[in-house]
Amino acid sequence: MKTKIAVVGLGIGQAHLKYYSQIPEIEIVGAVDVNPDILKQVSEKFGVKTFSSVDELLKKTRPDGVSICTPPATHLKLTQTFAKRGIHILCEKPMAPEVSDCEKMIDVCERNDVFLMIGFKKRFSPTYRFLKENFEKDFGLPKWIFARFALGRVEKQWFWDEKDGGGPIVENTVHMIDLLHFLCGRVKTVYAEGGNLFMPSFAPQIDTAIFTLRFENDAIAGVGAGYASEWGFAKEQITFATEKVVCEVSGGFDNPRNIQYIYRNNPSVVGEKYFEQPDGFFEEIRHFADCIRNNVRPIVGGEEGLYALKICKAVKKSAIERKPVSVQGIS
Ligand X SMILES: NC(=O)c1ccc[n+]([C@@H]2O[C@H](COP(=O)([O-])OP(=O)(O)OC[C@H]3O[C@@H](n4cnc5c(N)ncnc54)[C@H](O)[C@@H]3O)[C@@H](O)[C@H]2O)c1
For the bound state, the minimum distance from the C-beta of residue 75 to ligand X, rounded and expressed in Å, comes to 7
For the bound state, the minimum distance from the C-beta of residue 78 to ligand X, rounded and expressed in Å, comes to 7
CB-based contact 68:8 (threshold 8 Å): yes
Sign of torsion over alpha carbons 292, 294, 295, 297: negative
Residue nearer to ligand X on the CB measure, 313 or 325: 313
Residue nearer to ligand X on the CB measure, 134 or 173: 173
Query: In whole angstroms, what is the distance from residue 18 CA to residue 261 CA?
Result: 34
Q: Write b or e for each residue in 104-120: b if 16 or more Cβ atoms lie within 10 A of its Cβ, otherwise e.
A: bbbebbeebebbbbbbb
For the bound state, the minimum distance from the C-beta of residue 95 to ligand X, rounded and expressed in Å, comes to 9
For the bound state, the minimum distance from the C-beta of residue 74 to ligand X, rounded and expressed in Å, comes to 5
For the bound state, the minimum distance from the C-beta of residue 261 to ligand X, rounded and expressed in Å, comes to 26
Half-sphere exposure of 313 (CA within 13 A, CB side): 21
Half-sphere exposure of 138 (CA within 13 A, CB side): 11
For the bound state, the minimum distance from the C-beta of residue 196 to ligand X, rounded and expressed in Å, comes to 20
Q: Is 293 exposed, middle or buried (0-12, 13-18, 19+ CB in 10 A)?
A: middle
- Residue 17's H or E segment, with its range, is helix 13-20
Torsion of CA 320, 321, 322, 323, to 10 degrees: -140
Residues forming contacts to ligand X in the complex (CB under 6 A) are 8-12, 32-35, 38, 69-72, 74, 92-93, 119, 121, 156, 171
Looking at beta carbons, which residue is closest to ligand X? 11
Sign of torsion over alpha carbons 287, 156, 101, 122: positive
Give 74's contacts (C-beta < 8 A, 6+ positions apart).
9, 68
| Nearest alpha-carbon partner for 306 in 38, 58, 105, 48 | 105
CB-based contact 263:245 (threshold 8 Å): yes
For the bound state, the minimum distance from the C-beta of residue 175 to ligand X, rounded and expressed in Å, comes to 7
Residue nearer to ligand X on the CB measure, 72 or 298: 72
